Amino acid sequence: MDVTIYEVAQRAGVSIATVSRTLRGTGPVASKTREKVLKAVEELNFTPSRLGVSLAEGRHAANGIVFPNLAGPYYTQVLLGYEEVASELGRSVVILSTKGRTNVRDAVKDLAGRVDGMLVFGHTAPDDLVRELTAAGTPLVFISREPLPGADTLRSENTASAQLLAAHLQEHGHERFAFLGAPMTVGDDVDERWQGVRSVLGAAIEAVPTEEYTVECGHAAALKLMRGRNRPQAVVCSDDEVALGALLAAEELGLSVPGDIAVTGWDDIMAARHARPALTTIRQPMREMGALAARALDELITGARSTQNHLTLTTELVIRASCGNHPQEEPR
């Protein structure tokens, strides 16, 4: 916002075109000229204005990311991987949290105007805007959402893992189940998880909604559930945070986990390992998803690829103490 290319040019006694060429390495520049220019740049401490460059180049060199909130570790981890790769590719990251926002549509649209492409979680952006953006050719990558035309989607495997988890719980002898944190949106990760466990457990599992997927809401809903008559023997939670809430509720009610009631989570966030009992959960490669999203976006932006990719990453069932008694505990 200070010294411009004109002042550099003047000081070096050349035209602005030459300065630009020198700095970007495009086009030939005599070595003597180059030196004069570099000297002037040095003396004036010149840095090209990002705005000017972007306007002339017609690109922002920035990526957007839209998430509901940053409260839990899940989005954070994805963001981490995303930022890392984006910046490796020379792009900044502009963030947008939709939680508690009255006008999401405008906010996303504004973001779209600041970046070359965006990563969007689930259904955080309004559908009509998404259609508008894909129609306009804005590169878009989605995480935790069913595939849609005109954009990449990226998610980790849910259904099969959920079935695996359900089967494991059955092996422990549990017979009455609850799914805490019932899906709110069709087609997102939680919905797939629910469908997965349900396909195995059928009528033996009951869907119990929570307000949000947070510790607090999980805690509140779990309290109610565990106090009710016909308490389930195992509670499958939509994610680790809800599960942590359930653990808290059990403790409060004097129920032993997994003795009186088993609890499982999803994601394998840090606290899952530190909780007591440690949470049985499904680990998904959050950080890697962010990284992959950044690369996918890069391909779409640079035009290296024009088709859509729909990737599903594999997950891992992490068995700890909260799901039932195991002969030997896992070390560490």
Partner DNA sequence: TCCTTTTCTGTAAGCGCTTACACGCGCTTG
Partner DNA sequence: CAAGCGCGTGTAAGCGCTTACAGAAAAGGA
Which x/- pattern over 169-198 shows residues binding a copy of itself (rule: CB under 8 A)? Answer: ------------------------------
Which among 228, 212, 158, 145 has a CA at the least distance from the CA of 180? 212
**73 interacts with, out of a copy of itself, DNA, none, CB within 5 to 8 A per kind:** a copy of itself
Which of 44/182 has CB closer to a copy of itself? 44
Please give the residues from 107 up to 146 whose contact with a copy of itself meets the rule CB under 8 A: 107, 109-111, 113-114, 132, 136
Residues contacting residue 31 through CB under 8 Å, at least 6 positions apart: none
Give the one residue of 69, 170, 309, 312 binding a copy of itself; rule: CB under 8 A. 69
Give the one residue of 17, 51, 160, 186 binding a copy of itself; rule: CB under 8 A. 51
Residues contacting residue 299 through CB under 8 Å, at least 6 positions apart: 305
Say whether residue 207 binds a copy of itself (CB under 8 A). Answer: no
Residues contacting residue 184 through CB under 8 Å, at least 6 positions apart: 190, 209
C-alpha to C-alpha distances, 59 to 52, 97, 115, nearest whole angstrom: 11, 23, 8
Three-class DSSP category at 301: helix
**304 interacts with, out of a copy of itself, DNA, none, CB within 5 to 8 A per kind:** none
The distance of closest approach from Cβ of residue 186 to a copy of itself in the complex, given in angstroms and rounded to an integer, is 28
Strand 281-283 relative to strand 316-318, pairing: antiparallel
The distance of closest approach from Cβ of residue 258 to a copy of itself in the complex, given in angstroms and rounded to an integer, is 15
Spell 31-69 as b/e; 16+ CB within 10 A means b: eebbebbeebbeebebebeeeeeeeeeeebbbbbbbbbe
Residues contacting residue 100 through CB under 8 Å, at least 6 positions apart: 69
Residue ranges in contact with DNA by CB under 7 A: 1, 4-6, 13-21, 23-24, 26-34, 46-49, 51-53, 55-58
Strand 152-156 relative to strand 205-208, pairing: unpaired
Which of 113/259 has CB closer to DNA? 113
Interface residues with a copy of itself (CB under 8 A)?
1-2, 45, 47-52, 54-55, 58, 60, 62, 69-73, 76-77, 79-80, 83-84, 87, 92-97, 100-101, 107, 109-111, 113-114, 132, 136, 215, 244, 247-248, 252, 270-271, 274-276, 332
